[in-house]
Amino acid sequence: MHRIFTEGKYRKVCSVCNAVNYQNPVPSVAVIITDAEGRLLLTKRAAEPSIGLWCLPGGFIELGESPLDTLVRETKEETGLDVEPGEIVDACAKLNGFHGDVVIIGYTAVVTGGTLTPGDDAEETAYFSLNQLPQIAFRSHKHFIEKYFRIKIERQDEGKFY
């Protein structure tokens, strides 16, 4: 590998064929799930980064997997719940973090089955009312939560539901 200036920046290229080796952010998803009482489902992290803090279910998109496939898989792994994907809430980026640059897509989902039980890298799972949320591990997850509930209130004021 060597570096050349192309497309406005220095990039790694193959020394043999000069193919550009693009360095891209890692894609991931986070999932907003609420119960019938409007409480938010969170998982307590059992692994770094932010071990012991609470976050939305979610994780990294694997090769050969769509973001929606990841949403379903990660929710099942971390919470034991089966879900139907809903709408995109927003997308965020975390630059130079624990896992490098990460792009996070926030979605809603509806529970269709399963039994709430922590798994994979979740130490605990629980529903929380908005006025009693624990410390949230990631700024992007805080953003998704705030935006979801803001949109939900706006839609209810218009006679629509999320």
Question: Per DSSP, which regions of the chain are E strands?
Answer: 2-6, 9-13, 20-21, 26-32, 40-45, 54-55, 58-60, 81-97, 100-114, 122-128
What is the token pair recorded at 14? 């193959």
CA 29, 74, 131 angle in degrees (round to 5)?
A: 70
CA distance 20 to 14: 7
7 is catalytic: no
Out of 48, 84, 87, 124, the active site residue is: 124
Residues with a known catalytic role: 124
